[in-house]
Structure 1
Amino acid sequence: MANTPQSKKRARQSETRFAINKARRSRIRTFLRKVEEAIASGDKDAAAAALRAAQPELMRGVTKGVFHKNTVARKMSRLTSRVKALG
């Protein structure tokens, strides 16, 4: 348990960051799920639109430190190639 004032504050900050990051991760996963569902339905236009909507959210996750940049780059690359293959 935190004893010093500094460690108590760090514990409070940690809880706050955890809640914010959890919400952001959930939001990003929702965008990714929408892309996956559009790909599964076979609708190329819907999949492309969902991918365009998901891209800024993924990049925001990188800048906020929720995801590593290479992880997001890999996800975007794989999703883009899957959307292109729908044709």
Structure 2
Amino acid sequence: MPQHKSAKKRMVTNLKRQERNRAAKSALRTALRKYREMSDEDKKGAIAALQSTLDSAVRKGIIHRNKADRLKSRLAP
């Protein structure tokens, strides 16, 4: 257990950040899974939204930029 006040605060903020990151990563995985299960006609309209979701995950530091680029290149039909 942390002894100093700042260490206690850091522990709390780290837990909050961990929960936020876990939820964002889970939502990203769910979006990817739903995209893969879509029909080809539906994929054409959803690809832009999924690419935007990947880009926002990169900005938030959830996934690495190269991983997002790799996933986006694999999305192309």
Q: TM-score, normalised by structure 1?
A: 0.82
Aligned residues with identical type, % of pairs: 35
Asked if 1:57 corresponds to 2:70, the answer is no
Tell me, in whole angstroms, the C-alpha distance in 2 between the residues paired with 1:54 and 1:22.
Answer: 18
Question: Equivalent residue for 1:45?
Answer: 41
Tell me, in whole angstroms, the C-alpha distance in 2 between the residues paired with 1:15 and 1:21.
Answer: 10
Task: Note the residue ranges of structure 2 that are not aligned, 5 or more in a row.
Answer: none
Q: How does 1:5-84 map to 2 (within 5 A)?
A: 5-38=5-38, 43-80=39-76, 83=77
1:35-69 superposed Cα distances (whole Å, 9 cap, x missing partner): 1101xxxx322112222221111111000000000
Task: Note the residue ranges of structure 1 that are not aligned, 5 or more in a row.
Answer: none
Aligned length: 77
Tell me, in whole angstroms, the C-alpha distance in 1 between the residues paired with 2:58 and 2:4.
Answer: 33
Tell me, in whole angstroms, the C-alpha distance in 1 between the residues paired with 2:22 and 2:54.
Answer: 14
Structure 1 position 76, deviation (Å): 0.5
Q: TM-score, normalised by structure 2?
A: 0.92
1:53 partner letter:
A
Query: What is the RMSD computed on CA atoms of the aligned residues?
Result: 1.0
